[in-house]
Amino acid sequence: MNSVSKKTKILLKRGRTFPRLKWLSTRLLDDVFTDEVSLFRPHFKVDYEVYLQRLWDSNPEIFEILQSSSSLESARDALYNYLDRSERQVFALDNDLHILEKSTVRECVRVFRSIIGPINEHRTEFSALDTLWKLARNRHDELKEKVSPGFIMEFINLFRGVTGKSNIYMEDSQVKKGIPEFLKMKGRKAAIARTEILDELGSSVNKYLKKYPSGFEDEVIARRVENRARILHYFNGTPEDWNNYKWHLKHIIQDSKPLKDLIELSAEQIEAIDKAVKNKIAFGITPYYLSLMDSKLSIGYDHAIRAQVIPPKEYVDKMVKHRGDRRTAFDFMGEHDTSPINLITRRYPIIAILKPFNTCSQICVYCQRNWEIERVLAPKAMASKKVLNEALNWFDEHKSVGDVLITGGDPAVMKDSQLENILEILSKKKHIYRIRIGTRTPVVLPMRITDRLTAILSKYHNPPKLEIAVVTHFEHSYEITPEAMEAVQKIRKIGISVYNQEVFTVENSRRFETAKLRRDLKSIGVDPYYTFNMKGKEETKRYMVPIARILQERKEEARLLPGLDRTDEPVFNVPKLGKNHLRAWQDHRLVMILPDGSRVYEFHPWEKNIKVIPPYNYVDVPIYDYLEELAARGENIRDYRTIWYYY
């Protein structure tokens, strides 16, 4: 009898509720992302031998090479020869694979060569080839650690890929040469045939988009009106108070009691909040943002909102463990090593970060600077006049910096006079042509965008000499509300652009979930700017998504949107160095698969082809583990079947 996995039990204990697991049904969805075969069954006990047998069946020739090789090096040589033949066959005249499938073959060959390269084994201190060789020769007892299903699944797909059987394209079990019927037609007949295909594809897209309501849906608005009334009553507020950002700042939720009284929480969530508060781990939620949460756990639309501010138990445990050394333990981006003076961070030649205010109106769990934030609305968050002036004077000595990002902490939570003072000083420096304001207030406290604040921004927005820009951070369509739109439009009406930086996490990474956010952002006047791959911070590992998924999302979902809806760029922030554009395949490469199924990537710095800077090796989260999490949330794993071929 199969049993529910430990992870599923944990998720249920946390208070999540899921629809019936879709992959239990044998019915295929009628869209372009289905697959007829799925080995993946994450919620039941793993039959290890079945996985291994599927591995060898996926490419008998590789199995024969591994099994018959008397040494690791002879296996390596034979595999290199095999991969050379596989690649040469792609260019043979009699090869009837479709050219797109041939492209997959070439990519898989390139990745396979990299993985079995001795230099990559040396750098990663692991040999996937050695593991495969011992598995094929039934020398399991010689392995230092047992490999996971994730490891085996990676190689099942890689083995299939080098033979042209990736099953990415579903016209046949092995895609043959040929062209679609509509390309054989001419004129109106061809256009009509093509339109039928596009209509089907568009309908499939719209089916997904409907899964993710925004805050403009009538039902959602009505629910939040009730939430607002309940919150105002709880804090003895009035309808006029709700529109006053200072009232919200006075009533920031900083412990579990108001949450327990106003919304449903799981026992583990309450325990995590209480432990965070007890150990002085920064925690805070604005009344407005609380109003975006559904009162019951079972509704399930607000998962991304809750996850941003309600810390998981493992996050709190790690923060408590490293309470004394968190400034070094959690500084993933190496800001200590890229800060030439207090309050300044610099990784690029023409832009620098200024951090005058070290707190926010509420605390995001996966904040890049969680090691810096002591508490929500910390009384000593504002830098001293002396330290701030030294930082501002630094720009006079470094006139190559023309773009300044004011962030923190959230600079929009500062007093108007404090922010204006900084803008006034920076605006007098003639080499500075752009000032960005990095703030989440349009998302978590839209009332803060007052007429007074917009007047200040407008005063210093003086194109073409000086541009003021606002960069905010929406994570999910459920955050797109009439209040947020009003705040954004106030900024837009004074000629200032508003951009969005989304962090790609497990909470917004389902099929078309981020695509829906892009569309909703554009509808209220926000331009998608960056989609950040979730940073590899140990304390927030639960939120992380494999790099393969952000690449898949960009190609298979964002690509179906109009160009104006997909103006963002997927990036990975290389510690101490800066952004690596993930679509630029020449700037990163897969170098190893570890026993737990983790991919190891070698990231090249942005300075590549400009200046010699060492690369950075990054251990990603296993694709298998991510798919297991999606399955626990009711996702049809067949929808993600091509993820293995994004390297």
CATH number of the domain encompassing residue 419: 3.20.20.70
Confidence of residue 318 (pLDDT cuts 50, 70, 90): confident
Question: Do 431 and 290 reside in the same domain of the chain?
Answer: no
CB 482 within 8 A of CB 222: no
- Name the residue among 220, 230, 306, 214 with its Cα closest to residue 269: 306
Q: Which of 151, 180, 209 is the last residue in one of the domains?
A: 180
187: in domain: no
Question: Do 366 and 479 reside in the same domain of the chain?
Answer: yes
Burial class (CB in 10 A: 0-12, 13-18, 19+), 234: middle
- Name the residue among 182, 184, 180, 161 with its Cα closest to residue 171: 180
400: in domain: yes
Q: What string of H, E and C letters represents the secondary structure of 408-453?
A: ECCHHHCCHHHHHHHHHHHHCCCCCCEEEEECCHHHHCHHHCCHHH
Going 523 to 526 to 530 to 532, the CA torsion angle's sign is: negative
48: in domain: yes
When divided into structural domains, the chain yields a total of 3
30: in domain: no
Task: Write the pLDDT tens digit of every residue in 545-557.
Answer: 999 999 999 999 9
pLDDT at 6: 47
Q: Which of 180, 209, 240 is the last residue in one of the domains?
A: 180
| Strand (E) or helix (H) holding 578 | strand 578-581
pLDDT at 565: 95
CB 642 within 8 A of CB 623: no
205: in domain: no
pLDDT at 176: 67
* CA–CA distance, 300 with 121 (Å, rounded to integer): 44
Q: Which residues contact 61 (CB under 8 A, 6 or more apart)?
A: 82
- The torsion defined by the Cα of 151, 157, 163 and 165, in degrees rounded to 10, comes to 160
Question: Do 471 and 559 reside in the same domain of the chain?
Answer: yes
Task: Write the pLDDT tens digit of every residue in 234-266.
Answer: 999 999 999 999 999 999 999 999 999 999 999
What is residue 354's three-state secondary structure?
Answer: strand
* CA–CA distance, 541 with 313 (Å, rounded to integer): 12
| Strand (E) or helix (H) holding 130 | helix 128-136
* CA–CA distance, 556 with 544 (Å, rounded to integer): 20
Give CA 379 to chain center in angstroms.
32
| DSSP per-residue string spanning 269-328 | HHHHHHHHHHTT----B-HHHHHTS-SSTTS-S-HHHHHHHS--HHHHHHHHHTTTTHHH
Structural domain harbouring 299 = 218-318
Question: Do 82 and 126 reside in the same domain of the chain?
Answer: yes
- Name the residue among 582, 552, 588 with its Cα closest to residue 570: 582
Question: Do 377 and 501 reside in the same domain of the chain?
Answer: yes
Question: Do 434 and 311 reside in the same domain of the chain?
Answer: no
Question: Do 485 and 616 reside in the same domain of the chain?
Answer: yes
pLDDT at 46: 67
Question: Do 366 and 392 reside in the same domain of the chain?
Answer: yes
CB 172 within 8 A of CB 92: no
Question: Do 261 and 350 reside in the same domain of the chain?
Answer: no
Q: Which residues contact 359 (CB under 8 A, 6 or more apart)?
A: 373, 374, 375, 376, 377, 378, 381, 408, 409, 410, 413
pLDDT at 535: 73
Task: Write the pLDDT tens digit of every residue in 201-221.
Answer: 999 999 999 999 999 999 999
Question: Do 380 and 469 reside in the same domain of the chain?
Answer: yes
Question: Do 313 and 343 reside in the same domain of the chain?
Answer: no
Query: Is 39 a residue whose pLDDT tops 70?
Result: no
Query: Is 368 a residue whose pLDDT tops 90?
Result: no
Confidence of residue 468 (pLDDT cuts 50, 70, 90): very high
Helices 416-427, 451-460: inter-axial angle, 10-degree rounding: 10
79: in domain: yes
* CA–CA distance, 108 with 85 (Å, rounded to integer): 13
Task: Write the pLDDT tens digit of every residue in 595-647.
Answer: 999 999 999 988 888 998 888 899 999 999 999 999 999 999 989 999 999 99
Q: Which of 289, 318, 347 is the last residue in one of the domains?
A: 318
The CA-based angle 93-99-103, given to 5 degrees, is 110
User: Across the chain, what does the average pLDDT equal?
Assistant: 89
* CA–CA distance, 249 with 566 (Å, rounded to integer): 34
Give CA 233 to chain center in angstroms.
37
* CA–CA distance, 496 with 458 (Å, rounded to integer): 8
Query: Is 230 a residue whose pLDDT tops 80?
Result: yes
Strand partners, 354: 344, 406
10: in domain: no
> In this structure, what token pair is assigned to residue 102?
């041939």
323: in domain: no
DSSP 178: -
Question: Do 231 and 129 reside in the same domain of the chain?
Answer: no
